[in-house]
Amino acid sequence: MIREVQIHERLSLAQTIPLGLQHVFAMFGATVLVPFLTGLSPAIALLSSGIGTIVFLLLTKSQVPAYLGSSFAYIASLTYFVKDQNNLAAAMGGALTIGIIYVLLFALMSYFGSSWVHKIVPPVVAGPVVAIIGLSLTPVAADMSANNWYIAIFTLAVTAFLSIYAKGFLKIIPILTGIVVGYIVAAFAGLVDFTGVTASLNDIIASPVNFDTWQAPALDKAALLMFAPLAFVTIIEDLGHMIVLGNITHSDPIEKPGFNRVLLGNGLATGIASFLGGPPVTTYGENIGVLAVTRVYSTFNIWVAAFIAIILSFVNPLQALIMSIPTAVMGGVSLYLFGMIGVTGLRTLIEARVDFSKNKNLIIASVIFAVGIGVSSHGVAYATLAGIILNLVLREEKDEAPENKKEIA
């Protein structure tokens, strides 16, 4: 059995670097996919995620082992302003607006406190929300795997085998090892395209930010209207991720260091990204999955991952090498990570001994699962809202009198 490494613990640097790299592999695909889809720079997205994560760790006092990567919630808005309107300044103004909303909510929550969060998100809400965070991501992993199911299943099998049967340090880096083994097998099968790696050797070191074309964020009314409402979607997703983290790490980030600090860290990170020309950032379920698999919760590993991301943003061949990993390899690993998050949600329900003989609990969980899985866009956010509202509106059932129970029997 893997020994749990707690949030405040530090392993040796020789162990920490591979663990940090494992987190980088987990977030890399999604973080660079957003700029590819929206017309932004992948290198700047990496730089933004690295710097943003460091800011987040500082403001949460290194008590929340979360990595911040490019948010998918703003893809449509970014695409409209960057690709369709060729107005990067307006897009970054929209991103800056998101950061400002986060900071304002930090101020409100600092004044009123955040202990109320647990009252409106009890285990019967938290468990299903955590489960659908993982389950709602599995179609993405399945689509990635569909390019070559043989490679995906092989990578998944290697990762799972190492998680169970590996010894020593190898047991806590099954994801990294699974990706490397899957990559090697895919390369021998002729599935790896090294063209990008070869081309990158012509320009090994390059600044991700082009200061000749840099534009400051511009506050635009249309951008404000398109970006601002989405802030509340990602805030709810952040809340879900903090619940997952708390369950996995046996801590309570909502109470300590406080959800207000989580919002401040995320808000300032997004604000910095807007000045760099990168997409808004958010906490990543992929990296939470890594914590669940490895049971190594040390925030020091997240620090190392952030610095690796910053280095990668300047070194083109390293970016190209990671980009050359076949999607099927990452799909196989992602199936494992997202499935693990889903099971964590079910574990929350079991450990809290949620009584599903009560209609209120049954209705709340049913609606959360139905909305979270059934709604394709921002399903987790809508499901969380539905769960919170139902928990507040529905009344607790009174236990039936013993004689009534006998009559029913």
Domain boundaries defined on the chain? 13-202+215-350
Q: Is residue 12 left, alpha or beta, with left meaning phi > 0 and alpha meaning psi from -120 to 50?
A: beta
Alpha carbons 234 and 69: distance in angstroms, whole number: 12
3-state secondary structure of 146: coil
Q: Which helix (H) or strand (E) holds 110?
A: helix 88-112
**Residue 400 has what pLDDT?**
55
Residue 29 in this model has a pLDDT that exceeds 50: yes
The answer to whether 382 and 375 are in contact (CB under 8 A) is yes
Q: How do residues 336-378 score in pLDDT, each as one tens digit?
A: 888 888 888 888 888 888 999 899 999 999 999 999 888 866 6
Q: How do residues 238-284 score in pLDDT, each as one tens digit?
A: 888 898 899 899 899 998 899 999 999 999 999 999 999 999 999 98
The answer to whether 31 and 231 are in contact (CB under 8 A) is no
Phi and psi angles of residue 147, each rounded to the nearest 5 degrees, phi first: -65, -35
Q: How do residues 77-117 score in pLDDT, each as one tens digit?
A: 898 899 888 999 999 999 999 999 999 999 999 988 777 77
3-state secondary structure of 31: helix
The overall pTM is greater than 0.85: no
Mean residue pLDDT of the chain comes to 87
